Structure 1
């Protein structure tokens, strides 16, 4: 019998996973794999204290690694679908920086701020906006979150979608469910565009060499623009680079004949840029 495929779109799956193993887990690469990209993007913002959104933080040490790139830890906002992961993240930050943060992810009096932590479903714009302000973030960072989202089932969404490119789009249009489900990565891209400021950079580490198919100008899988925003007009690809995985190491006895030579493993770093096309939540202009 074939092994059961994990339910990456299930909050229950992630809570169970992080409950059964509370140790830090790194997806694809070590926390420092994105250092060069983070440094370059932060420099390009020209802002004194840009806000960074770390989506799908899980139990990765990347959250704490990012702290070295900012002046104020409160600039970093960690999100995850699992409340267990968020609890562990707050707890670990308190253990690493006991004089600065309490165990609830809040800053201690007269001490430097700690990072922000929230349980959020990035496929639900209401959940996202409950924790994040529109047009707030200059940098979005993730390690394999888009991979996990892409492995989730396609989603039926209300039409017209609550987020629109035109503020004057009527809100009294007859609501209906999409006849065909939408790829969850498209939904996440639109929702993230709502909280990213113009010119924001989205740094994504992925195992796929074609992780963002919606950037393909020939893609015809999207709905009409007045029903669902076209993510192609919200994000552009700035950079795509190969990242070679760790190589096999010879045994301690120096006998290289016993080394198992694994095939070359490549991961990919994508840097996307938020365009100047504005987004609106339907009805907010009334």
Structure 2
């Protein structure tokens, strides 16, 4: 039997098809409220009265609505996704929820969230989004396994005019897609802003160590284009294991010899963990 081909998590067609065939909310890796303490701490640390939140790869996660509850308002929350299908679904769900009569004794969250189609790896899409949201304005980026999906894609060539690459270069720069994401998010985030990421990987941001960029070309003058070092714009503040909730043990026949005599033996599995990362935007400017 041939091996099963893994899902194309980096392809738009995969996500459009997934969201077109099911409208059931789905949360990757952890529940929607698993980020509560991290989000609340980041909101409180913001220098602005109303923290501006960018939820990337929102999908059909219930986290979008949870963020509104934690922030106390929806107006400063931007839910973005690669797939227009799920963005339209999210907007429609919010409209239906708002049409319902308020629950007695339940404090309503004011305003409406913003739902925007955004290609996080596209210079053109990022530039348009910057104009829409007033440039480097976000205090908090929330990323629940979106980085994992993006990391499944191929390395990307960047044109000579993009991502602050000096215009004198006649060569393309090849970067891992997650590094492109980090550079693009740096263009959207204020100095001191936070990027909260939940990932299944124990080394999702290894490229933030200086000198570990994946770029494979440099300028004709020998320049290494330090502007493309993601570690200039982000520093890893905290990393922590999140233990996956254990499934009930199941009993199986132990296969003991003795003419039909069997015993039930629990099957023990190693601890499964995901990881939370908190990255902080440095004060190094990244030109549009």
Alignment TM class, shorter chain as reference: 0.7 to 0.9
In the superposition, relative to structure 1, how do residues 219 and 70 fare at CA in structure 2: closer, same or farther (>3 Å)?
same
In the other structure, the counterpart of 2:105 is none
RMSD over aligned CA atoms reads 2.2
* Secondary structure in structure 1 of the residue aligned to 2:75: helix
**Are residue 238 (structure 1) and residue 245 (structure 2) matched?**
no
Per-residue deviation, 1:196: 0.2
1:187-231: CA deviations, max 9, x gaps? 000000001000000000000010011112341533555485211
Distance 1:205 1:61 in 2: 15
Local SS of the residue matching 2:155: coil
After the TM superposition, which of the residue ranges 222-231 and 79-88 deviates more from structure 2?
222-231
Residues 154-206 of structure 1, C-alpha deviations (whole Å, 9 max, x = no match): 112213x52228xxx5x4x354433xx31000000000000100000000000
Contact 1:243 1:266 in 2 (8 A): yes
Residues 3, 39 of structure 1: alpha-carbon distance in 2 compared, 3 angstrom cutoff: same
Cα deviation code 1:66-119 (max 9, x no counterpart): 11111320110011000111011111112222269xxxxxxxxxx942100111
Contact in 2 for aligned 1:239/1:272 (Cα 8 Å): yes
Instruction: Give unpaired runs (5+ residues) of structure 1.
Output: 101-110, 252-256, 282-286
| Cα separation, partners in 2 of 1:250 and 1:6, compared to 1, 3 Å | closer
Matches within 5 A, 1:23-62: 23-62=24-63
In 2, the alpha carbon distance for the partners of 1:113 and 1:175 equals 47
Aligned to 1:6: 7
CA–CA separation in structure 2 for the residues paired with 1:200 and 1:228: 19
Unaligned runs of 5+ in 2: 102-108, 251-263
Rounded Cα–Cα distance in structure 1 between residues aligned with 2:276 and 2:44: 18
Q: Secondary structure at the match of 1:138?
A: strand
- TM-score with structure 2 length normalisation? 0.83
- In structure 2, the CA distance between the partners of 1:225 and 1:195, relative to structure 1 (3 Å rule), is farther
Which residue number in structure 1 is paired with residue 172 of structure 2? 177
Are residue 263 (structure 1) and residue 264 (structure 2) matched? no
**Count of aligned pairs:** 258
1:189 aligns with 2:187: no
State the shift of 1:135 in Å: 1.1
Query: What do residues 45-78 of structure 1 show as CA deviations (whole Å, max 9, x unaligned)?
Result: 1321110000000000000011111132011001
* Correspondence for 1:208: 201
TM-score by length of structure 1 reads 0.83
| Runs of at least 4 residues off by over 6 Å | none
Go from structure 1 to structure 2 and tell me whether the alpha carbon gap of 1:14 and 1:220 turns closer, same or farther (over 3 Å shift): closer
Match of 1:118 in 2: 116
- Structure 2 residue matching 1:164: 3-state secondary structure: coil
